[in-house]
Chains A and B, each alone.
Chain A
């Protein structure tokens, strides 16, 4: 009950904010639409607006872009935001960098109609598919380079970058793991953390799938992964701590199961302080892509579309690559010779036996996880 006090303060703040935005929204919206003639909001490609130059012009008039849930050390989004802002002179307002994909959708609903609503989303596939009707269809200039299974046919959402599930570790504290099963060894006692609760966080979900593949499971069968974490906990190796850059730096989480690009970002960030290394287990390569989408109610519709063009351009895709994530156009760019070869060479090594779960397989795994995870680690 006492803690409701904090809630009340937040509530009062929310009302104040709502009032402020209610007052602030109309002029901004009128200005934006008057300038663009309202075309940008319905444009399904740059051509609809009369080409890239016209799109850039409209976006510059809007002058701002709201992004959400983009941590600067995740897939190099820090550089991406800065590069976009500098190139087009557009102010990028980054909100709630540590939010989850579902938080992005919730924020869009909450802020609908205000000029603070997110313009673009970066989403896990589950959330993207479940909310496809909230996205404006838009096909970027490089649309044809995206493999058909990684994009919505209508252009409502499409893969932007992906990666593999990996094990990051402090090489000065633990030996290098070569397989998932290695983590059961006594050297890893009290040291292995998973990035989130797998019934809630996409990265952790893929972490359990990786553990399943490393223990005789398959994309259809996540049970061995749950069993593995149960053993990990029984051995005293499993850390129920949510890893963050701070827990890694302070040594609380010496082994972290997470996407290779987030683990790799730690390597760069902690250079000189910690010998943080990243390995993708060869017996358990789980890949997944994140997805880009435009909010159908975007307060800055032209800037939102220009952002899509930017992240999917050679320049944007190479920025992802520099952050150790794998841009979705990598094959096409390799063929065209536009890929940043140095950055490509720095990616953690992977073989050719990678697994990408289909939506049906993921749904099945989720149900199994919902029923068994809490018991396994509780």
Chain B
């Protein structure tokens, strides 16, 4: 059998030119089928439901009124608060996490500090939800250990200004707790990628520390930093369980408002408004992903 000119880039593709590709694509589909079924069931189907519901009224007719409601009062505020909370905790997490990463990277590669920080980050980045909320309630809640210690020993009332732990300041504090370790996990590889030779080269050419960061280290780390910050933003924006366990009054952020529409027993028949809020969240996360993609493209040529 005379093999035709093999135009495929990979050398491995010419093993069985006659029937290989079709069988391979068939088995490839088979292998990927569970994943597609999974994505279809838990991502595409729910997204389609949310999209459809957002444009329907209670009787199933098409309407834009539900979406228009989002621009009003409490819903708009919830979006603003959600974005504010996510942006603030992403910024705090990104800056503090980056500093921590840098500190770890400049230490000994096999040092104890590095091992401890990495292990702790791995655990703490996943330590969200009810356990985290409970941990904060038990330490700085109204009857928390730290609260009572401060009150009994120094006469300091942590809640003198109000129930901040159960409002946005509290959510910011609690979210930052899992944002910093996440930043360390996603950003440390980039910092590790900085070669000491670059610094030495800068210095031998007469550059200062500032020159190095301004012209070498900074530009190299910037895309990874911004990308990580966007990831942190999306992480906070979609977090639900932590806030749900902590805040039971007023539903300040979007995920909590959606909860109200789905499980509330007082105001009924507002599921579609909940779906419209969900659509709003999809848009925000979509924009975040778009920015991420743009960032990747912009900086790809540097790598």
Q: Which residues of A contact B (CB under 8 A)?
A: 1-8, 11, 15, 100-103, 106, 123-124, 126-127, 130, 190, 194, 196-202, 205, 233, 236, 238-242, 250-252, 366, 369-371, 373-375, 377-378
Q: How far is the CB of B89 from chain A (nearest CB, A)?
A: 13
Residues of chain A contacted by B182 (CB below 8 angstroms): 2
Q: Which residue of B lies closest to A2 (CB)?
A: B235
| Bound CA span A190–B157, Å | 11
Contact of B264 among A3, A11, A100 (CB under 8 A): A100
Q: Which residue of A lies closest to B235 (CB)?
A: A1
A7, A103, A374 — most chain B CB neighbours (10 Å): A374
| Bound CA span A377–B235, Å | 27
Contact B73 A205, beta carbon cutoff 8 Å: no
Residues of chain B contacted by A102 (CB below 8 angstroms): 262-265, 268
Contact B159 A190, beta carbon cutoff 8 Å: yes
CB proximity to A under 8 Å, residues B252-273 = 252, 259-260, 262-269
Contact B162 A236, beta carbon cutoff 8 Å: yes
| Bound CA span A374–B129, Å | 23
8 contacts between A and B (CB under 8 A): A102-B262, A126-B265, A130-B268, A190-B142, A190-B159, A197-B251, A242-B249, A375-B73
Residues of chain B contacted by A130 (CB below 8 angstroms): 268-269
Q: How far is the CB of A134 from chain B (nearest CB, A)?
A: 13
Q: Which residue of B lies closest to A189 (CB)?
A: B159
Contact A205 B266, beta carbon cutoff 8 Å: yes
Q: Which residue of A lies closest to B37 (CB)?
A: A15
Q: Which residue of A lies closest to B75 (CB)?
A: A374
A199 touching B128 in the complex, CB below 8 Å, given contacts A3-B235, A252-B141: no
Contact B265 A2, beta carbon cutoff 8 Å: no
The answer to whether the Cβ of B221 comes within 8 Å of any Cβ in the partner chain is no
Residues of chain B contacted by A377 (CB below 8 angstroms): 249-250
Residues of chain A contacted by B249 (CB below 8 angstroms): 194, 197, 240, 242, 377
| Bound CA span A130–B42, Å | 29
The answer to whether the Cβ of B212 comes within 8 Å of any Cβ in the partner chain is no
Residues of chain A contacted by B269 (CB below 8 angstroms): 130
| Bound CA span A1–B240, Å | 11
Residue-wise, chain B 143-183 has the 8 Å CB interface mask toward A (1 for contact) of: 10000000000000001001100110000000000100010
Known A100-B265, A102-B268; further 13 A-B contacts with Cβ < 8 A:
A3-B238, A124-B265, A127-B265, A130-B269, A194-B249, A197-B249, A197-B251, A201-B265, A202-B266, A241-B142, A374-B252, A375-B74, A378-B252
CB proximity to A under 8 Å, residues B127-143 = 128-129, 137, 141-143
| Bound CA span A375–B235, Å | 27
| Bound CA span A2–B121, Å | 13
| Bound CA span A373–B74, Å | 10
Residues of chain A contacted by B73 (CB below 8 angstroms): 371, 375
B129, B163, B234 — most chain A CB neighbours (10 Å): B163
Q: How far is the CB of A194 from chain B (nearest CB, A)?
A: 7
Residue-wise, chain B 109-131 has the 8 Å CB interface mask toward A (1 for contact) of: 00000000000000001101100
Interface of B is mostly: loop
Contact B42 A100, beta carbon cutoff 8 Å: no
| Bound CA span A9–B247, Å | 24
Residues of chain A contacted by B125 (CB below 8 angstroms): 2
Residues of chain B contacted by A4 (CB below 8 angstroms): 238
Q: How far is the CB of B111 from chain A (nearest CB, A)?
A: 27
Contact of B268 among A2, A127, A198 (CB under 8 A): A127
Contact B163 A240, beta carbon cutoff 8 Å: yes
CB proximity to A under 8 Å, residues B182-225 = 182
Q: How far is the CB of A326 from chain B (nearest CB, A)?
A: 20
Contact A240 B128, beta carbon cutoff 8 Å: no
Q: How far is the CB of B138 from chain A (nearest CB, A)?
A: 9
Residues of chain B contacted by A123 (CB below 8 angstroms): 265
Q: Which residue of A lies closest to B260 (CB)?
A: A200
Contact A3 B241, beta carbon cutoff 8 Å: yes
A196 touching B250 in the complex, CB below 8 Å, given contacts A11-B42, A101-B265, A102-B268: no
Contact of B250 among A3, A100, A252, A374 (CB under 8 A): A374
Contact A200 B74, beta carbon cutoff 8 Å: no
Residue-wise, chain B 231-251 has the 8 Å CB interface mask toward A (1 for contact) of: 100110011110000011111
Contact of A199 among B77, B252, B266 (CB under 8 A): B266
Contact B142 A2, beta carbon cutoff 8 Å: no
Contact B250 A239, beta carbon cutoff 8 Å: no
Residues of chain A contacted by B106 (CB below 8 angstroms): none
Contact of B267 among A5, A194, A251, A366 (CB under 8 A): A366
A2 touching B126 in the complex, CB below 8 Å, given contacts A100-B264, A100-B265, A200-B266: yes
| Bound CA span A5–B142, Å | 31
B125, B238, B268 — most chain A CB neighbours (10 Å): B268
The answer to whether the Cβ of B41 comes within 8 Å of any Cβ in the partner chain is yes
| Bound CA span A370–B269, Å | 13
Contact of B143 among A5, A126, A238, A250 (CB under 8 A): A250
| Bound CA span A291–B250, Å | 27
| Bound CA span A367–B106, Å | 59
Contact B238 A1, beta carbon cutoff 8 Å: yes
Contact A201 B266, beta carbon cutoff 8 Å: yes
A3, A126, A366 — most chain B CB neighbours (10 Å): A3
Q: Which residue of A lies closest to B270 (CB)?
A: A370
Contact A199 B235, beta carbon cutoff 8 Å: no
Q: How far is the CB of B264 from chain A (nearest CB, A)?
A: 4
